[in-house]
A and B are shown apart, each in its own frame.
Chain A
């Protein structure tokens, strides 16, 4: 137990340099690249004096090192600055949009894990049979279907042709979002006021986007689970379990899958990047008012503080989830200690 606590503390401390490097990379990309926020904001024909004034206002005329220290200092105080185009704080805008993205990615990930892990385990069980080949083929093909195109096709089929499901937004017209805006997570909000009609509406809007995201990522999980399961199924304790007369299904889906799940968990940490990228694309396709939409809208408007803020939040999420995965990993598997 003391070992575990020590590991968690060390691992948490190790996250700091990683976050620091990520923040530095973001700074370098956004400041040192060609392309000047001020001139693109004011247009190419603004007089020199106005540009100078604006640069001073934004603190862009100071030396790079001073800007860098100021940038890190403000982030440490959770201050991401103000939007350049709208009267709002960057943190406020992000706080408003983040729950939508988290809701989408959580459901997407759930679908991925259920589908990917189950199909992968099933394929490993039926290895070298037609069903195995079919599932492997599914894994390869679904991986090559861009998430945005899958989203468009699902919209076309289920939203336009069959007209079963809504294709845009988080809620329908009849749900007044202001009535229950507490946490921003609509599922939790509707449950808090026990408005089941609205909850149903929210869930229906989640179906297509989360399946789009979940299906796309499931290919990788099919592959990973299958490979890990093949290793595990060869182990001696599987043979021992078979000798004891435990049913085959029980062995594959309980004994083996439990052990194959540990490496899958680590890979899950690495897939967070893919999940985030997928979320941005899914949000655009489904007009989902989350972080991805915010980022792209502000790129059109050249709202640099907002772009920077959104990217920083994504970096923090990635760092946090990889930390979380490592800690869960350590709790699940006592052999893992540094």
Chain B
């Protein structure tokens, strides 16, 4: 045996502690964020292990009972278990917001690279359009899109994705403009590298690093927009469990004091957004040590 069990476990812990010493608070922000996300990810992946009930079961218990006993977060007006709906609802919000962020980063990065590299008329037109979308309230754009294309998970995903394309576009375009002037790009071109090679092998790897931080913050924002959309316009079919929709339903019972129907779904939306924000915050401070001074 080359090393003992304790050593095997000790090594990662030592690295962990060392990182903590090196980066201080930022490291712990990152770790806390990661723990929150992993916990919610577990909910989404294995919901059955966390609750004995079914999220659609309208016979889980008495109507509108407060948290306690068998129902740790109480039951709703349709006699469904609130905790179970929280656990199963994590799937909807996580998949929509992460997928939306992936779609918008893909489109935004591609267009940004192209626009910054090609320049000229294409660049000017794209920049104008992207700037206009950027200043326009994203939520209103998403509401309009969702209202036009109708309800559904895929439609909401696209409506949310559209909002964030300009964020990636502006970031990547700016960096592409700068990197394009670098000596090593010039060198590559002089030995006959094609435009495609320069874009993919020289510019793209330098651009992608900074988009990681933006991506996590983007997911955090998308989470709140997704929940806002379903809270506002109930754009999902009732067969889907969603925190935003549960919040909208719980709102009806606020005046009569049934606090658990709004408290828990909203708290989960905040926690999820907070998790991604903390990862983004931690990463940005660790990746850009200059910012540490701020």
Contacts and interface: CB of A to CB of B under 8 A. Distances in A.
Interface string B250-294: 010011010100110011011001100110010000000000011
Contacts of B270: 141, 144-146, 149
B132 A276 contact: no
Nearest to B217: A143
Interface stretch (B8-16, B82-90, B110-118, B224-232): B224-232
Given A21-B129, A311-B144, 18 more contacts: A17-B128, A18-B131, A26-B144, A30-B144, A140-B278, A144-B224, A145-B270, A146-B227, A146-B273, A149-B267, A155-B254, A156-B263, A161-B257, A167-B254, A272-B135, A276-B137, A281-B139, A318-B137
Contact of A148 (B138, B149, B228): B228
Interface in B13-65: 25
Interface in A259-292: 270, 272-274, 276-277, 280-281, 284-285
Residue of A22, A26, A29, A146 with highest tally of chain B CB at under 10 A? A146
Contacts of A285: 251
B119 interface: no
B145 interface: yes
A295 B143 contact: yes
Interface string A13-41: 00001100110011001100111000000
A146 B228 contact: yes
B237 interface: no
Contacts of A133: 25
Contacts of B251: 152, 285
Contacts of A156: 254, 257, 259, 262-263
By DSSP majority rule, is chain B's interface helix, strand, loop, or mixed? helix
Contacts of A230: 293-294
Interface in B216-251: 220, 224, 227-228, 231-233, 247, 251
B150 A35 contact: yes
Given A149-B247, A152-B247, A153-B262, A160 B255 contact: yes
A72 interface: no
B50 to A, nearest CB: 23
B266 A152 contact: yes
Interface of B: 25, 128-129, 131-133, 135-141, 143-145, 147-150, 220, 224, 227-228, 231-233, 247, 251, 254-255, 257, 259, 262-263, 266-267, 269-270, 273-274, 277-278, 281, 293-294
A25 B143 CA distance: 14
A149 B140 contact: no
Contacts of A144: 220, 224, 270, 273-274, 277
A271 to B, nearest CB: 10
B144 A29 contact: yes
Given A146-B266, A149-B269, A273 B147 contact: no
Interface string A315-334: 10011001000000000000
Nearest to A142: B270
Contact of A29 (B25, B131, B148, B255): B148
